[in-house]
Amino acid sequence: MTLKDFKFIIALIFSVSAFSQQNVTGVVTFQEKPVNAVNVYDKDSGLLAITDATGTFKFSTDKIKLTLVFYASEYEIKEVIINAKQANNLKIELYSLATELSEVVVNANKRKAFELKRLNDVEETAIYAGKKTEVVLIDQSMANLASNNARQIYSQVAGLNIYQNDDAGLQLNIGGRGLDPNRTANFNTRQNGYDISADVLGYPESYYSPPAEALSEIQIVRGAASLQYGTQFGGLVNFKFKDPNPSKPFEFITRNTLGSFGLFTNFTSVSGTSDKLSYYAYANYKKGDGFRPNSEFESINTFAHLGYQLSEKTKIEGELTYLNYLAKQAGGLTDDMFYNDPYQSNRARNWFKVDWLLYNLKLAHEFNANTNFTFNFFGLNASRKALGFRTNRVSQVDSGEERDLIVGDFNNFGFESRLLSEYTVLNKNATFLIGTKFYKANNYQRQGPGSDGADADFNFYNDAFPNYSDQSEFDLPNFNVSVFGENIFYVTDKFSVTPGFRFEYIKTESEGFYKNINTDAAGNVIFEEDVADNRNFERSFVLLGIGLSYKPNSSLEFYGNVSQNYRSVTFSDINIANPAFSIDPDITDEEGFTADLGMRGNYKGYVSYDAGLFSLFYNGRIGFVQKEAADGSVTSQRGNVGDAVMFGVESLFDFNLKKIFGLNNNYQLNYFINTSIINSEYITSEEPGVEGNKVEFVPDLNLKTGLNGGYKNLLASIQYTYLGQQFTDATNATAGSISGVIGEIPAYDILDLSLSYKYKKLKLETGVNNVLDNAYFTRRATGYPGPGIIPSAPRNWYVTLQVKL
């Protein structure tokens, strides 16, 4: 794309006119004080807006007459009929719930008809018009929140592929549409709108995932999300924390969980608002023995949020997050080992440790009723340390020699500013977003000999083991500047077009060395050298995208989008020596684009649905191929395999059986079915035996279905999950290798059961995961916690007691 083309896109964004809609604004108060986090619903179509800390709400609508419903916990629900043409600066006063109201009535008011919602066209300083958006409402979920059970939490998000290899939820591993789920590296992961991964471009893996017990919702945006949130193919995962309680100076919640395999967790939070100051903080402790030998773990995660309303239009917020965990790694298995005993372990000296410190400072300012500005300054100071006995032959018994130690230190900071303005051109409304992001990382990575002991000793022992061959040390600075923009154009009152762009400048550097050591048959060093490996890779480019939305009425939307994508080669692709595979020295970045076309809506409260087609075109896809060496042996090599295409159908239907069967408000009953059917193919490749093969991590069928319901304060959920066969390398090998890294992931199915009961300030949750006790696996790890097959958990139970004061 030339600079001339880039200027044309900018001119187009400012010049195209839009069709006007009605703007509705107002303030919600209680006893003359503003009320935060009030949900504003259209009685027919659903959620329209949520009030901010000043009690203000605003939204646009193409309807003239609306029935608005105002809901917030601890207040009576208020219903107001308005004329949208005359609805500026509405004054809405709420009243507290009468003390004589029963707990049953309060809970019935709180429960929403559906567990999943979609993002509005515009929220704060972000545009979502024409994009595929899904929002998981955690308070409505019946999932095992204490262990971050992703299979249950994301059950209504279409097409996700999830690694399930620990029973505590210490890390989140989700992918989809052929994207590797490993540590969610193909999504831009954020909490409260700012980055939380190790290095957005150089090492986009997420070793930290917020506890589900602290979240109000999880926002997932796919398709054209790359324009606002980065270049990645997957899109955005944003963890939104619970807001401070707006009506109390102090709220206390504690949750204690016991479960199988020695699991114990405690989650304790405090929250409140006093005048202009608001706060939310928690501590989360987890420990357990794991469901395999040599897999015990212990973690502590703390978080603090402070907000201060500087004025009616300006608010400042600060957040600090810390995570520390130590986990023993049971190691991977070969196919034969798994089918002989899926829960065995022959690694007793492997450890993994994470320290994660995140900080963020946010300024939000409203210049006027039509223009909002946000500024986030964020940073990370973190490390991950992996220690253990790794060998290409994972069935080999640990010989007790020195262990392999890999240490990564991540120090990065950046800022992102966004300006969103609703403006008029030729007397017609439009919404414009412009933003910029600055990101600088100074990372360090070292690989060398660890101790020959069995404890979690993360020190290097170069003097004790001078003949250790896989030694390297690198400084890895990254620098990134981007500018992005989008604009909603309402061509008619029902049809909108949202073009956008993202300009990226990336400078990736690698400064360091690795050792070459050759020994004779007796183990004596006969050759040793330090090989300098310094690289400087600069690139700049423009990504373009466009979203379309047609809303024939308030309950139905047709949407479509297409967006270019880009993935930088990470420094772990280049600088880590791994006995299970080798790296192609000519490995390069990946690029391509994604497209969505679908329909979504809510039919009279009977069913909520989202069904559509998608395609993902991946050029220079990085993956594994089997290579034959000169001595006739076969090894795995990671590199650019070829160009691939994935396309399919994704759908979610959630039926409100309570309304369909005419049940009263004492009942809650929903049935959902979430289906993804995908076809994939390598369309070109220079590697022999690859063209025409299926793409890795793409099950033909991904099905999740379940029934959720209850009577009064007793709720229950049953969920069934099925995923078809998947391949893990481009040659579609089915038989496992000696390392367990390459081979198929067989089809599997899982049944989960959950129950909850609430009585006044107490809530009891319990359940059984993997009720049928199926032995299965979802992952063949290329490195830690393997290499090899990582089994998933057998049947397990949990019990949680919550106290809220």
Is the pLDDT reported for residue 568 higher than 80?
A: yes
Tell me: the pLDDT tens digits for 740-786?
A: 888 999 999 999 999 999 999 999 999 999 999 999 999 999 888 88
Give me the amino acid identity at 535.
Answer: R
Tell me: the pLDDT tens digits for 247-267?
A: 889 999 999 999 999 999 999
Is the pLDDT reported for residue 537 higher than 50?
A: yes
Side-chain half-sphere exposure of 379, counting CA atoms within 13 A? 11
- Quote the CA–CA distance of 174 and 275 in Å, as a whole number: 40
Q: In this structure, what DSSP letter does residue 184 have?
A: G
Is the pLDDT reported for residue 403 higher than 70?
A: yes
pLDDT of residue 223: 67
Average pLDDT score, the chain: 88
539 vs 26, 503, 566, CA distance in Å?
47, 11, 12
pLDDT of residue 426: 72
- Quote the CA–CA distance of 596 and 609 in Å, as a whole number: 16
pLDDT of residue 303: 98
Q: Which of 163, 210, 6, 203 is nearest to 697 (CA)?
A: 163
- Quote the CA–CA distance of 567 and 159 in Å, as a whole number: 21
Phi, psi (deg, nearest 5) at residue 292:
-125, 160
pTM score, two decimals? Answer: 0.86
Tell me: the pLDDT tens digits for 651-669?
A: 999 999 999 999 988 999 9
- Quote the CA–CA distance of 620 and 679 in Å, as a whole number: 19
pLDDT of residue 16: 37
Is the pLDDT reported for residue 13 higher than 50?
A: no
Q: Which of 519, 393, 513 is nearest to 466 (CA)?
A: 519
- 724 and 748 in contact (C-beta within 8 Å)? no
Tell me: the pLDDT tens digits for 175-223?
A: 988 888 988 888 999 999 999 999 988 888 889 999 999 999 999 998 6
Is the pLDDT reported for residue 388 higher than 70?
A: yes
Averaged over 235-258, what is the pLDDT?
A: 94
Averaged over 579-588, what is the pLDDT?
A: 75
pLDDT of residue 100: 38
